[in-house]
């Protein structure tokens, strides 16, 4: 369970986030520059709120003036918009980086269907394949929460649909909260158990 209630002053407006998320897929959409990535970054620990709290299960990740929990202790998986794979490492090394358990890692590789890519480098694989590798890498750390920042935006329609179906399948297996940013209204409606909308830093749930 993710519980987050925090604020952060951005360049042009304050960001105010109040989310309670169980083991469900919540989709976050909103115009460019509205605060979506900053929200994910604050939860992952790459940026910090000015005030408030973020709690994941029993772990306090951020609370007011206390020292924030370091990124590596948060148990948060993060799939970045551009996937951010390490270019000098093979797919195998990318996934093993931060992985907790070898047998789980090989199950994941199997589940996302990338066994044949293990010895390739990121520059040698397609966008859809990178997306699968990034997803496997994030899940191999055994996170208690998965954040995805527009993970499917650069994929063609067919690959996008396949990847969306894969995410839903993995979510049924993993049962952790997922917070996914998308600009795509159709994607939001088909994937999200809950749909959140952010505009100029104000986050609201669509009912
Ligand atoms: N550390 C910071 N301090 C002040 N302002 C910031 C900081 N980080 C981001 N911003 C500003 O906050 C606003 C929201 O940025 P953010 O990247 O979160 O938007 P976004 O909704 O993810 O946009 P996009 O859809 O284009 O990726 C932008 O105007 C950005 O310049």
> What's the per-residue H, E or C state across the chain?
CEEEEEEEECCCCEEEEEEEECCCEEEEECCCCCCHHHHHHHHHCCCCCCEEEEEECCEEEEECCCCCCCHHHCCEEEECCCCCCCCCCCHHHHHHCCCCCHHHHHHHHHHCCCHHHCCCCHHHCCHHHHHHHHHHHHHHCCCCEEEEECCCCCCCHHHHHHHHHHHHHHHHHHCCCEEEECCCHHHHHHHCCEEEEEECCEEEECC
pLDDT digits (tens, 9 = 90+) for 119-137: 999 999 988 889 889 988 9
pLDDT digits (tens, 9 = 90+) for 52-68: 999 999 999 999 989 99
Residue 30 confidence (pLDDT): 92
Residue 186 confidence (pLDDT): 86
For residue 30, give the ligand 1 atom closest to its CA. 21
The verdict on the CB of residue 127 being under 6 Å from ligand 1 is no
Q: ipTM exceeding 0.90? A: yes
The verdict on the CB of residue 47 being under 6 Å from ligand 1 is yes
Question: How far is residue 151's CA from residue 163's CA, in Å, rounded to a whole number?
Answer: 9
Q: Which of 28, 33, 43, 46 to mutate to test the pocket of ligand 1 (most atoms within 8 A of CB)?
A: 33
The verdict on the CB of residue 103 being under 6 Å from ligand 1 is no
Residue bearing the CA closest to ligand 1, atom 12: 10
For the entire predicted model, the pTM comes to 0.92
pLDDT digits (tens, 9 = 90+) for 159-183: 888 888 888 988 988 889 999 999 8
CATH code, 2-205: 3.40.50.300
Question: How far is residue 39's CA from residue 150's CA, in Å, rounded to a whole number?
Answer: 13
Question: How far is residue 189's CA from residue 178's CA, in Å, rounded to a whole number?
Answer: 15
């Amino acid at each position: 369970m993710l519980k987050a209630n925090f604020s952060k002053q951005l360049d042009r407006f304050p960001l105010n986030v109040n989310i309670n998320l169980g083991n469900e897929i919540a989709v976050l959409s909103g115009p460019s520059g509205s605060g979506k990535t900053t929200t994910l970054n604050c939860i992952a620990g790459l940026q910090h709120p000015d005030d408030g709290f973020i709690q994941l299960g029993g772990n306090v990740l951020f609370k007011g003036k206390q020292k924030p929990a370091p990124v590596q202790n948060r148990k948060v998986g993060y799939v970045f918009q551009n996937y951010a794979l390490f270019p000098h490492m093979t797919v195998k090394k990318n996934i093993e980086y931060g992985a907790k358990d070898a047998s789980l890692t090989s199950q994941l590789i199997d589940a996302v269907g990338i066994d044949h890519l293990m010895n390739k480098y990121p520059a040698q694989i397609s966008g859809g394949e990178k997306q699968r590798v990034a997803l496997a890498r994030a899940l191999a750390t055994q996170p208690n929460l998965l954040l995805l920042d527009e993970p499917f935006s650069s994929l063609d329609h067919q690959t996008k649909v396949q990847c969306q179906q894969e995410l839903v399948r993995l979510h049924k297996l993993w049962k952790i909260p997922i917070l996914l940013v998308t600009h795509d209204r159709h994607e939001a409606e088909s994937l999200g158990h809950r749909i959140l909308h952010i505009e100029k830093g104000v986050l609201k749930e669509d009912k």
